[in-house]
Structure 1
């Protein structure tokens, strides 16, 4: 088990508070993949560009700084803040199919910017350590953990991994004085630690009939491990299939085995959503993907994230942080 992130959720935004939390987060002695700070829903009178003035210098911490509702006129400012600072992430809450401005924004992002922007289809904002869909709804400063524990899960040691992470959370609370909120227990891949590999070991090659059932069974096991470990689950707490972060999923898209229809079908098995996948630049297609996602979320009644990477005709999109992001077949 590795700690994927320690994320502090701010109760309010001020330069002094951000600096104080920044120093406490930097001082955490436990090894973690990333350290993060999540801001509350962006106040209706706040200019997004001015939020960047509040951020301390340094590249060792990332920030979820903008959380807007889908009818917010500041959506057209999101590209500017993403292009101004590579440490910042943003999300938009979607609740209905009035999505024209959102589609325009996504299609206008370059691949690197698109990896730091997501849509959250849900009734309200979500307190999760997973960026870009993270928004603080805390009444006091709190923190939470996300994990990389695919190997532990595969070996039947998911409960032990969650117990170990919970102990780390309690020790961080003791060291920092910041309230420990819980763990997003989502089974999330990172390259060679592949959730796709688990699906294929327990079922068949992705995508085949029966994969949805397999994903659902994996989710049940996550719930069982969470119950046994007695940790507090927060956020998504489900199987995650971010394609460009999973070596097997990436390969299945590149060889044509996994297309958009297959990926969508697996999200009915309680997967977080359509995530980290290249999709050919097409306004009508993007609108349909988002509207279909709204329908899936309505059926699941669970939060659903969307992170689309615009493809301008290439089969492989090259990025510094994730390597190859494959473009998925849409038909």
Structure 2
């Protein structure tokens, strides 16, 4: 019988994300009011001994945000928002540029320009939902990613964009976050790979014990978030949307290292999929109001150990799609050779959309082509959030 784990370390709070519907004439006051709510939540977490990494705001979808503006006016408005996000220390997401195949694809052109010239704004496109796969959006997404890779400094604009499939509104994690309502809502997301590592080191190779102990450990922190979320909602009049307890990794807080602790083998070896299933099962069992992915994230370039294993060819795109069958992975921060074609990316996005719709689960795809880089080359991103790795040939 497993001995219940007493969690020694707290996860970081990756984000407290607010959802707003702003107006060009009053956006500064609306954002200021929203930040009061988010900073209240941050203070509550700090009082409980948690570190809060970021505060984030997600606006209405891009087409609605800039309705009635010319491209020049829209870019100027987005630049003001970009500047304000730096000044007030929050991350900004302007939602999906396309939510349906019937949406105006011109909004994607505006987003191409924004992602290529504004360093902080994040956004997405929805490539599948309950109505099915959005084939036109997939193709337009590939075109956007190709353009941004070729026109943004160091091709890093692609890091601020993702394609989502079957992801519901109010996810706190960027870049896929979006909402379609009146706003005045907020959600919370954790960075809890350290909690997984603690459990997996103790319960190495024991799936039943690891599932039970990880559920218990995640629940301890989720209940704190739930209490804080409801308290802040009561005090502010905003609506608490829920918690995404996905144990997100970042840098040295590595989900790949945690999985290696459990399997005793390199990430990508046999047993990796089982570990992914254990994590997702534990997350789903946490008894609080959940939102977003609520599974497992495997971002190749954001996880130090994962980036190393990618360079070693320990796993590949097909491996990640296999893991996505049991967790909320998709294809996240995947470095691609610069000569990748739009048609090749179409197929990658389609695979993610097909898997998401088949199993009715949220997945995303953040592809990052790098012009003038070929298989065997190293990436050379200059970002505290990205770990450079090797580029592999496409099958």
Q: TM-score of the superposition, structure 2-length normalised?
A: 0.75
Which ranges in structure 2 are unaligned for 5 or more consecutive residues? 1-10, 129-133, 200-212
Q: Which of 14, 28, 32 is the aligned partner of 1:19?
A: 32
Runs ≥4 residues deviating over 6 A: none
Equivalent of 1:7 in 1, 9, 17? 17
Secondary structure in 2 matching 1:115: helix
Please give the residue correspondences for 1:233-252 in structure 2 after superposition, counting only pairs within 5 Å.
Answer: 233-252=290-309
Higher Cα radius of gyration: 2
Q: How does 1:45-56 map to 2 (within 5 A)?
A: 45-47=67-69, 48-49=74-75, 51-52=77-78, 55=81
Q: Which shows bigger deviation, 45-54 or 203-212?
A: 45-54
The C-alpha deviation readout for 1:194-253, integer Å capped at 9, x for no partner, is: 1112222333422223322321122111122x12xxx21001111111111212211100
Kindly indicate which of the two structures has a greater share of residues assigned to strand.
1
Q: 1:130 to 1:287 in 2, by over 3 A?
A: same
Residue 249 of structure 2 is aligned with which of 167, 170, 189?
Answer: 189
SS at match of 2:381: strand
Name the CA distance, whole Å, in 1 between partners of 2:38 and 2:281: 33
Q: In 2, are the aligned partners of 1:277 and 1:325 still within 8 Å (CA)?
A: no
Residue of structure 1 in register with 2:194 after alignment: 151
- Closer, same or farther in 2 for the Cα pair 1:42/1:143, shift >3 Å? same
Query: What are structure 1's unaligned runs of at least 5 residues?
Result: none
CA-CA distance at 1:135 after TM superposition: 0.5
Q: Residue 120 of structure 2 is aligned with which of 87, 100, 113?
A: 87
Q: Over aligned residue pairs, what C-alpha RMSD do you find?
A: 2.4
In the TM superposition, what is the alpha-carbon distance from 1:255 to its structure 2 partner? 1.3
Question: Given the superposition, is the C-alpha separation of residues 137 and 86 from structure 1 closer, same or farther in structure 2, using an over 3 Å criterion?
Answer: same
CA contact under 8 A between 1:39 and 1:136: conserved in structure 2?
yes
Q: Does 1:214 align with 2:224?
A: no
The match for 1:290 among 333, 337, 349 is 349
**1:322–1:264 distance in 2 versus 1, CA, 3 Å:** same
Q: How does 1:258-297 map to 2 (within 5 A)?
A: 258-281=315-338, 282-283=340-341, 284-297=343-356
**Contact 1:38–1:65 under 8 Å retained in 2:** yes
Please identify which structure carries the higher helix content. 2
- Between the aligned partners of 2:297 and 2:387, the Cα distance in structure 1 is 19
TM-superposition CA deviations, 1:170-208 (whole Å, max 9, x none): 343355443222111112111122111222233342222
Distance 1:158 1:25 in 2: 22
Determine helix, strand or coil for the equivalent of 1:7. Answer: strand
The residue that corresponds to 1:319 in the other structure is 382
Give the structure 2 partner of residue 97 of structure 1.
Answer: 135
